Structure 1
């Protein structure tokens, strides 16, 4: 709580004490997720290989840790009906799903049949579709160079994208967001750190947006497009998640609760030193209430490799920290 809220609470307690009232367990003194009534979710990407191999066992373990919701990143080789049955069996819901941007592998995509995608989302109980990465212009070669991981390929491509490329992405989001809204779904965009790569001066020497993320925020329709902040990737880019929330109230509706070590050097090429939530540099007691005040209602734990523990142990550590966090 800030000082003004503390003063209000103190005044209320004093007034009630004067009336002989019994002590009250104020909601603000409860852990953040308990007092907001929001579930702690998990982005299933963190356990992708396990879910692919043993979906039922993985979801059972996730529910046993205490998670109440998951965010999908693909269908783990199952049909939407099979996924829904597996989630229902252990009491998990999936309000949100990352969907590939460009079609591959037979799964639905944002540049494909949106009616099919909407039907699948409704089977799953999904209410928000998330675009997990920017649309890659066709002129770029996505073949890795020697010693280059695929994330670094995307970072290299993102750094080479122009203002027009980012405006194309904004237009793409607007069109897909409007179409999905008509089908009863919301659309959000999820960031990495390539979006924050500095742009060169605009044509004619006129100042423009500093990076692609600013273009996405400025050129998308708030009625059709929201944003899912990946706090770990924002921090890995050397950006301030608090400043983003403050500058764009109401635009962020979901958050990836991802932590990074202080050893992470600011970059725009998909590099970070990951760790469990609460073990890194992000000020979660401050950030979670700020995100909630700005409109975020879905929080999903996510962690990038490499892991110091087994993946299930790591998400359990993060859950334990968040379930007790007073903020």
Structure 2
């Protein structure tokens, strides 16, 4: 399968330049070397598979989702995690059409962020039918009291049961607000301690844990096999620590990803997904390509 993916991606790279309106097609020599490495399918690091959250290239997805996904495949990603950009998680296509697109590119559509509070039965059925692994609740927002988080915890268990009944897993993706003490408790701790491990997994956004002043490694080790997905998202050291919109190219920031990802691998994290939301000196597509190069060559 790996060789097939490399062949597919090489073919995609050779054909994608004429299709895309993006500036990276005329990138400078440094970026050209990255693209060449993707074409050759070179992989010197320890991660055989890694993905990208398509929200990282949301403007490009809104313009042309098919061309964007073809470009993503050409960079060396083997997995994608989706989001609902207003046309559903399949971007206006049927679930089977979207599956054919990703299969043809050698990409595994492993999961999608979605509004799990509406039409979950239908979403779960369609996602499971094409072999997706997860539907993920990406945001609930800060709450006024722990009672609110307790009600949400019950919601997560119910939503997890719906997903399980349809043959797909359910996960919650954190932001920083669940790590801030409220009514004498840490909401994230309560949620993890009171959700059923058979129904609810978690996607750790390492950036938000760190920005909230907590240690991602501590949480990974305290709750083994609960954080089955992880967002690989670095934090710039050139901005105030509390700056919410402070992500940067992976490996260029201040987060210790060798230690974080090692802890993840040792404690049940199966999916490593690139995400970047702030861009300084690169376009989102250029950043996606550079981040893929980092992940392909990542070593401890």
TM superposition score normalised by structure 1: 0.73
Higher RCO (C-alpha under 8 Å, 6+ residues apart): 2
> CA 1:170 to 1:262, structure 2 compared with 1: closer, same or farther past 3 Å?
same
Alignment partner, residue 251 of structure 2: 278
Give the distance between the partners of 1:273 and 1:169, measured in 2 at CA: 28
Runs of 4+ in 1 over 6 A off after TM superposition: none
Q: Secondary structure at the match of 2:136?
A: strand
Match of 1:168 among 151, 157, 167: 151
Give the superposition deviation at 1:265. Answer: 4.3
Q: Secondary structure at the match of 2:148?
A: helix
> CA 1:52 to 1:85, structure 2 compared with 1: closer, same or farther past 3 Å?
farther
1:32 maps onto 2:46 in alignment:
yes
1:46 maps onto 2:56 in alignment:
yes
1:260 maps onto 2:240 in alignment:
no
Cα-to-partner distance string for 1:187-216 (whole Å, 9 max, x where unaligned): 111001111122133xxxxxxx2x211111
Alignment partner, residue 84 of structure 1: 99
TM superposition score normalised by structure 2: 0.79
Give the distance between the partners of 1:214 and 1:263, measured in 2 at CA: 30
Q: Secondary structure at the match of 2:112?
A: strand
The answer (yes or no) to whether the contact 2:124–2:135 under 8 Å persists in 1 is no
1:119 maps onto 2:125 in alignment:
yes
Q: Secondary structure at the match of 1:32?
A: coil
Alignment partner, residue 296 of structure 2: 323
Give the distance between the partners of 1:93 and 1:32, measured in 2 at CA: 19
The answer (yes or no) to whether the contact 1:307–1:314 under 8 Å persists in 2 is no
Give the superposition deviation at 1:78. Answer: 3.4
Aligned length: 252
Q: Secondary structure at the match of 1:286?
A: helix
Higher mean displacement: 162-171 or 300-309: 300-309
The answer (yes or no) to whether the contact 2:128–2:166 under 8 Å persists in 1 is no
Give the distance between the partners of 1:184 and 1:50, measured in 2 at CA: 31
Give the distance between the partners of 1:217 and 1:57, measured in 2 at CA: 38
Structure 1, gaps ≥5 residues long: 1-29, 101-109, 135-153, 202-208
Higher mean displacement: 307-316 or 66-75: 307-316
The answer (yes or no) to whether the contact 2:81–2:111 under 8 Å persists in 1 is yes
1:195 maps onto 2:178 in alignment:
yes
Give the distance between the partners of 2:239 and 2:219, measured in 1 at CA: 20
RMSD: 1.7
Give the distance between the partners of 1:127 and 1:197, measured in 2 at CA: 30
> CA 1:94 to 1:80, structure 2 compared with 1: closer, same or farther past 3 Å?
same
Give the superposition deviation at 1:250. Answer: 1.2
Higher mean displacement: 247-256 or 313-322: 313-322
Alignment partner, residue 177 of structure 1: 160
Alignment partner, residue 71 of structure 1: 81
Alignment partner, residue 246 of structure 1: 221
Q: Secondary structure at the match of 2:132?
A: coil
The answer (yes or no) to whether the contact 1:265–1:272 under 8 Å persists in 2 is no
Larger Rg: 1
Alignment partner, residue 11 of structure 1: none
Give the distance between the partners of 1:118 and 1:217, measured in 2 at CA: 22
Give the superposition deviation at 1:248. Answer: 0.7
